[in-house]
């Protein structure tokens, strides 16, 4: 088994959290511009450190490491162990989720028929308490995962609620440099504001370790009911609009791979991110 992280990301993050010099001797660089960790234990610690640090502080996380690799790591490290070994310079307080947390709802993966079903709207106001309950499950399921968003069907609950926060920057996704705080949306809907569409990369918690290019409306207006029962209307463009459309699609039973037109625009994250085309599109080439 190999443990791979894109070199740029590795260097950037280890520098940002001051463990570059500590970790650099423990990895070897290969011709494909990926870092190969010498042993599994170290790789686990690094990855978990990054996932944890990323989600709370940097909005970086799973882009560092394909989730299908991560899941193969049978580790029981907790943050105090990680800190002791490699993260001694970090003073922030982390709340690292245990992978053995049996109470957290499982994220359903691409192929599970439930993900292709249409979700039901909430009857408001009587079902507002239910929306709050489902939201808690969604938060529990994604705790520490550093994801952009999630929709209730991804934890097997076919009700129309999504949540997302738009990061200002993201190594995998083409962002606008503007962050939008977490929104929780009950019964969301949207209308395109023009015919303009754009083709960009997406990923999904339900499609771990993979990315695909999908056409989305560039400018939309979306509506939803917030947790207090108030109707909200938001105009969104580019990445913000893309994230909304991705999450909304989950409620319709549509996962992003179903929207990939050219099958060559779908593949493993680490392979895509190492490609010349991707690197050029992100100014790395
Ligand atoms: Ni998704």
CB 89 within 8 A of CB 18: yes
Domain count, the chain: 2
Q: Which of 40, 70, 85 is the last residue of a domain?
A: 85
- Catalytic residue list contains 247: yes
- For the chain, the first-to-last Cα distance in angstroms comes to 28
Sign of the alpha-carbon torsion through 278, 29, 67, 87: negative
Residue 107 forms part of a structural domain: no
* pTM of the predicted protein model: 0.68
95-140 per-position pLDDT tens digit: 223 333 567 888 999 999 999 999 999 999 999 999 999 999 998 8
- 38: CA distance to ligand 1 center in Å? 32
pLDDT tens sequence across 220-233: 999 999 999 999 99
> Tens digits of per-residue pLDDT, 64-90?
333 323 333 323 333 333 333 333 222
φ/ψ bin of 147: left (φ > 0), alpha (ψ from -120 to 50), beta (otherwise): beta
What would the two tokens of residue 224 be?
A: 């939803």
Which residues are within 5 Å of ligand 1 (an ion), measured at CB? Answer: 204
256 and 202 within one domain: yes
Distance of CA 58 to the CA centre of its chain: 13
Candidates 63, 126, 127, 247; catalytic one: 247
Q: Which two tokens stand for residue 118?
A: 């249409």
Distance in Å, CA 207 to ligand 1 centroid: 7
250: CA distance to ligand 1 center in Å?
7
Question: Within a domain: residue 97?
Answer: no
* Residue 253 belongs to domain with CATH number: 3.90.45.10
85, 103, 121 — which closes off a domain? 85
Beta strands in the chain (DSSP E): 4-6, 27-29, 34-37, 149-151, 161-166, 180-192, 197-202, 210-217, 219-225, 231-237, 266-268
For residue 144, give its domain range.
113-281
């Amino acid at each position: 088994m190999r443990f791979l992280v894109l070199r740029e990301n590795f260097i950037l993050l280890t520098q940002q959290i001051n463990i570059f010099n500590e970790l650099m001797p423990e990895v070897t660089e290969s011709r494909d511009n990926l870092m190969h960790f010498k042993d599994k234990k170290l790789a686990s610690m690094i990855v978990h450190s990054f996932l944890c640090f990323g989600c709370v502080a940097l909005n970086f996380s799973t882009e560092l490491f394909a989730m299908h690799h991560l899941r193969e790591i049978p580790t029981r490290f907790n943050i105090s162990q990680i800190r002791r070994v490699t993260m001694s310079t970090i003073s922030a307080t982390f709340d690292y989720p245990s992978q053995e947390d049996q109470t957290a709802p499982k994220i359903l993966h691409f192929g599970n028929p439930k993900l292709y079903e249409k979700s039901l709207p909430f009857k408001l106001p009587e079902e507002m308490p239910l929306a709050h309950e489902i939201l808690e499950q969604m938060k529990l399921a994604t705790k520490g995962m550093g994801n952009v968003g999630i929709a209730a069907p991804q934890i097997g609950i076919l009700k129309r609620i999504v949540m997302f926060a738009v990061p200002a920057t993201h190594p995998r996704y083409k962002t606008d440099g503007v962050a939008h705080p977490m929104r929780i949306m009950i019964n969301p809907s949207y209308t395109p504001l023009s015919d303009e569409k754009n083709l960009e990369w997406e990923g999904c918690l339900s499609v771990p370790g993979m990315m695909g290019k999908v056409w989305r409306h560039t400018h939309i207006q979306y509506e939803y009911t917030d947790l207090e029962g108030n109707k909200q209307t938001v105009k969104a463009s580019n990445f913000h609009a893309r994230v909304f459309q991705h999450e909304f699609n989950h409620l319709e039973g549509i996962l992003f791979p179903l929207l990939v037109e050219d099958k060559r625009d779908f593949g493993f994250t680490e392979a895509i991110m190492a490609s010349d085309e991707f690197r050029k599109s992100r100014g790395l080439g």
